[in-house]
Amino acid sequence: MYWIIKLVVYSGIIVFLVFVYVKYIESKAIYFPYKKIEYTPGSLNLIFEDVYLRTEDGVEIHGWFIPYSKAEYTILFCHGNAGNISHRLEKISIFHNLGLNVFIFDYRGYGKSKGNPSEEGLYLDAGCAYRYLIEQRKINSKQVVLFGESLGTAVAIDLASFKEIGGIILEGSFSSGRDLAKKIYPFLPSIFFSDRFNSLSKINKIDAPKLFIHSKNDEIVPVKYAKKLFYYAREPKCFVEIEGDHNSAFIISRDRYISALDSFIKKLDG
């Protein structure tokens, strides 16, 4: 009888330690902030404005507003989990060349933004960026198009689930953090993983037009997770499959990528 009690106790300790370890790994594997701003839109001869904002919880965040003369729509750019806004110049240029204003911001802890990243913090940062466009730039909410890449898709989806927007573009999206964690640790039961960044529970709250772009070769976020999200999304929606790895598919499939963006924006007009 005594050995059974010892076995139960030791098993409980092992399970607890595994649980703590997984939580630690989860927190370290989500955010990869980079503080140094290596380039600016000026590197591409684009006019831009440095913007500093304070979030609802008092954190100062930084972003760039890149105007396009007489633009009808403004892209609110929610970037991925690594680097900072200075590593998104190619996509900023693509949107600019499509005749769009762009407002890209760094999450707390990234680039010149203060604080430390967290799921709730990222949501607050995006909300602050949205209010800046509506309240200070006086942009009509229906002329705001959210763009999220990778982790930023969860941030954009959360914002779109309770704010009025003109449309949302999701590149490299995933259904939930738990689904991704199960891919990385398939030998562990789901109970070990927190339900972070659960886009699946929010996607059907969005009425605005949706464009999903995903590479069939994505080695980090399998395309099946984006298709799962797409399945539960309301119409109008469109899924465009491209080729290339997670970070360079938009370059490898550049023509198809830009064509999909251009077509989506033009359909918003009509």
pLDDT in tens, 215-253: 999 999 999 999 999 999 999 999 999 999 999 999 999
**Confidence at residue 195, expressed as pLDDT on a 0 to 100 scale:** 54
- What 3-state class would DSSP assign to 16? helix
**Confidence at residue 20, expressed as pLDDT on a 0 to 100 scale:** 46
| Residue stretches of the chain with pLDDT short of 70 | 1-29, 184-195, 270
The candidate with the shortest Cα–Cα distance to 174, out of 151, 155, 156, is 151
**Confidence at residue 180, expressed as pLDDT on a 0 to 100 scale:** 76
**Confidence at residue 101, expressed as pLDDT on a 0 to 100 scale:** 99
Query: For 150-260, where are the E strands, in sequence order?
Result: 167-171, 210-215, 237-242
Give 195's contacts (C-beta < 8 A, 6+ positions apart): 176, 177, 178
What's domain 2-268's architecture?
3-Layer(aba) Sandwich (3.40)
pLDDT in tens, 88-120: 999 999 999 999 999 999 999 999 999 999 999
Domain ranges in the chain are: 2-268
Cα angle, residue 220 at apex, residues 93 and 129 outer, rounded to 5°: 45
Query: For the chain, where are the E strands, in sequence order?
Result: 32-33, 49-54, 60-66, 74-78, 82-83, 101-105, 144-149, 167-171, 210-215, 237-242
Structure tokens at 126: 């995006």
Contact 211, 169 (CB under 8 A): yes
**Confidence at residue 190, expressed as pLDDT on a 0 to 100 scale:** 55
**Confidence at residue 178, expressed as pLDDT on a 0 to 100 scale:** 80
